[in-house]
Amino acid sequence: MKKAPTPTGVRLSRDEFGVPHIEADDLEGAYWGMGYCHALDRPIQMCLTRLLGQGRVSECLDASAESLEIDTFFRRMNWSGNTENEISKLTTQAQSLYAAYCRGVNARFEIARPWEFRLLRYKPDPWTIADTLLLMRTTGYVSLAQSQGEIEHLFVEMVKGGVTDDQLESLFPGRLSPFDRPTIETIELGGARQVPDTVKWGISDRRFISSNNWAVSPSRSVSGNALMANDPHLEINRLPCIWVEQVIELPDDTVVTANMPGLPGIVVGRNDNVSIGATYAFVDAVDSWIEDCRDGCFRREDGWVEFRERTETIKVKGGDPVDVVFYENDHGVLDGDPNKAGKYLTTRWAPAEGGASSLNATIGLWSARSVAEVMETVRDFEIAFSWVMADTDGHIGFQMSGLVPVRNAGATGFTPMPGWDPSYDWQGWMPSAQLPNSYDPPEGYIVTANNDLNHLGESNPINMSMGDFRARQIASMIEAGPCDEDRFNSIFASVHSMQAEEMMKILSPLLGDSPTHRELAAWNHGYSTDSRGAVVFEAFYEQLIMELFATEEVGAEVVQHLIESSGTFVDFYAVFDDVLRAETSPWLGSRTRDGVWAAALHKTSPPDGVWGDHNRVTLTNMLIGGRLPGFLGFDVGPVALPGGRATPHQGQVYSSAGRPTSFAPSLRVVADMGEPGLKSVLVGGPSDRRFSRWYKSDIKRWTQGQLKHLRRQADPAVSAN
């Protein structure tokens, strides 16, 4: 294989796990090496992610109607826009390092192109800093901030579907401000729907991406050192894994990191002094406004203002180009045509046009030598993360990041606001110093699991979070005794559900002596792959949701769709659980809670198989997955997933956009700050090249819960080229 000329002071090799080691005399050399190794190991992942973000799938890969729909979505978001202005905000050091990264990527692109791209007659464009900025925006929204926008859009559809004010308040207590029901009912919803047009509300014609991280103080560790752990829960049924591991060996430091191809630097990992883990924070940085439109204009107080028109030309491989017009104002992109009189939504995500602050902060992490320094640095990230840290001096910390808008005092950010009233415009950004944080808490540990952490700050950036069951379970296991790698591995593997345990307290008195009831009575609230009780409970849980929420206003089809083909009951199950468990609720009508639960129990089928038979995924190649015979080895599985929605080892499988998806641990890392390096495992392997020995080299370790040790090499023997 032809090798690229390596810059002076840069040496590339692999360890026994296939993980690239980049030995460099300085940071510029390290960034060149990270770029070269990303392009060497993950060229398909890098280029596909870029094409998606650019809205160019129809042009370069596939001329299908589905690809055109995908391209239209990404063109609507316009994450390729305003890049020059943001790049100008990068520090001199950041511009130099990201330019070095691009040179490394392009050095590899110039000498090798994946055979899959040759078959598709696609030649990657040179990588630029704008591409890294694009990926920063794309990964921060898709499957992360997107979930907030979807639940807010779902709320509008519920209003239009006839769900009553009392029912809405019971689901979303304290969040319904401002709430102008007659106006919301007149909103015309366009193509960006949570529920497809084919699914209807009741009998009327109106239509309706989690993680754990924690750190413990020396007083709670076996070794007497501070410890940190992280296991991001993302979609795992695609190969390669979203993460790629790299070890950067500098003259005075060693950095072990799991980052993303196209996004170099320290995301999850450690240097010699401090370790870092991240989860999504569920900060509300997505808002919608109601725009009163006519003649291509929107109403502003007593006047009318023209929308800005943006025409995007989507090239189609082998076909005619398609022009798509988007209408924009300072509230975002309109979901409709303002030339047709009516009320439509505009939606804006706070970090959509940013990114420079996050890229600068990433550079700043290289010089951080303590928890306090990391906290100061990461709070400048525009994307909403909950960061935990541990350092060699025994300190631990938590810091939330995110660009959070300051809103009208009467607005929660959950309901759509009147676009014609300037007082509901965003009024700047919440000071990062007010975001939730904690330094050396007295209990000696910190846990985040996408739960509500507003109590740790001076502000309330979260208005919709996941339940706290995973966080509580992890905390209880930390408190059970001194922590070490073995205890952390047991936390990673825990499939006990406090959610199920609490719900069974209500259900148990209703159980009889049938096989189904006996299975539930004997269940230990665990989601191991051999559990029969988990199968029965999940069947009951689905029936309970249907029994309570499939009202005449909503309809069974809609609820079934939300269960089977959306992330609504995955991301925000705790919101619905509060109503399911309530003894009094507008959703009950004339029924009693026990009556609803008994009816759901009666409809629950006897156990059929074990949890691993139902909860399984096939890990498919991201470009050709499922289209070639299994014996060729592009796909792996099916793999049985332990865990459920509320267990530390999350294992959720459902459909989204017509294809199977999942939530499960994509990566696990453990750092003992008294030892060198990092223990880790990811689902997949270092390479996205099917015929590389490193394509799926970590899968066995991942399924067996084993970690490998990544650290500085004394005598590297395997060339990374």
Structure-token pair, residue 625: 């997955």
The per-residue pLDDT for 161 is 82
Amino acid at 296: G
What CA–CA distance (Å, rounded) separates 507 from 514? 14
> What is the 3 state secondary structure string of 131-153?
HHHHHHHHHHHHHHHHHHHHHHH
In angstroms, the first-to-last Cα distance of the chain is 8
503: alpha, beta or left? (left if phi > 0; alpha if psi -120 to 50): alpha
Q: If the chain, 721 residues long, is cut into consecutive pieces of 10 residues, what is the mean pLDDT of each piece?
A: 73 96 97 97 93 91 86 89 92 97 96 87 93 90 73 85 88 88 90 45 38 96 97 87 95 95 94 95 91 96 96 93 96 95 94 91 95 96 95 97 93 93 95 95 96 90 86 96 96 96 96 91 96 94 89 72 67 84 91 95 87 91 76 85 93 71 89 96 93 93 94 67 60
The CATH code of the domain at 10-139 is 1.10.439.10
Q: Which residue has the tokens 């988007």?
A: 326
The answer to whether the beta carbons of residues 503 and 578 sit under 8 Å apart is no
- Segments of 496-631 assigned E as strands: 616-621
The per-residue pLDDT for 244 is 95
Beta strands across the sheet bearing 238-239: 238-239, 616-621, 636-640
The per-residue pLDDT for 553 is 67
CA nearest 493: which of 664, 661, 685?
Answer: 664
What CA–CA distance (Å, rounded) separates 243 from 237? 13
Query: At what angle are helices 356-364 and 92-111 packed, to 10 degrees?
Result: 90
The per-residue pLDDT for 309 is 96
Structure-token pair, residue 484: 């070490």
List the helix and strand counts (H, then E) for the chain: 24, 29
Per the prediction, the chain carries an average pLDDT of 89
Structure-token pair, residue 164: 């009553």
Domain ranges of the chain: 10-139, 211-283+353-493, 498-613
State how far the alpha carbon of 29 is from the alpha carbons of 34, 108, 112, 251, 368, in Å.
Answer: 9, 15, 21, 12, 19
The per-residue pLDDT for 305 is 97
CATH fold, domain 211-283+353-493, is Glutamine Phosphoribosylpyrophosphate, subunit 1, domain 1 (3.60.20)
The answer to whether the beta carbons of residues 527 and 647 sit under 8 Å apart is yes
Structure-token pair, residue 467: 């339940």
State how far the alpha carbon of 380 is from the alpha carbons of 253, 499, 693, in Å.
Answer: 24, 34, 39
What CA–CA distance (Å, rounded) separates 595 from 592? 5
pTM of the model: 0.91
Residues 6+ apart with CB under 8 A from 186: 342, 343
Burial 474-501 (b: 16+ CB within 10 A, else e): bbebbeeeebbbebbbebbbbbbbbbbb
What CA–CA distance (Å, rounded) separates 342 from 326? 16
Amino acid at 156: V
What CA–CA distance (Å, rounded) separates 95 from 101? 10
Percent of the chain with pLDDT over 70: 93
The per-residue pLDDT for 3 is 64
Q: What percentage of the chain's residues is helix, strand, coil (to nearest 5)?
A: 35, 25, 40
Question: pLDDT digit string (tens) for 179-228?
Answer: 899 999 999 987 554 444 433 343 333 222 578 999 999 999 999 999 99
Q: How many residues does the chain have?
A: 721
Question: pLDDT digit string (tens) for 664-673?
Answer: 899 999 999 9
The per-residue pLDDT for 80 is 86
Q: Do the bridges between strand 211-216 and strand 244-250 make them parallel or antiparallel, or are there none, so unpaired?
A: unpaired
The answer to whether the beta carbons of residues 611 and 534 sit under 8 Å apart is yes
Of the options 1.10.1400, 3.40.1580, 2.40.128, 1.10.10, the CATH number for the domain spanning 498-613: 1.10.1400
The per-residue pLDDT for 253 is 96
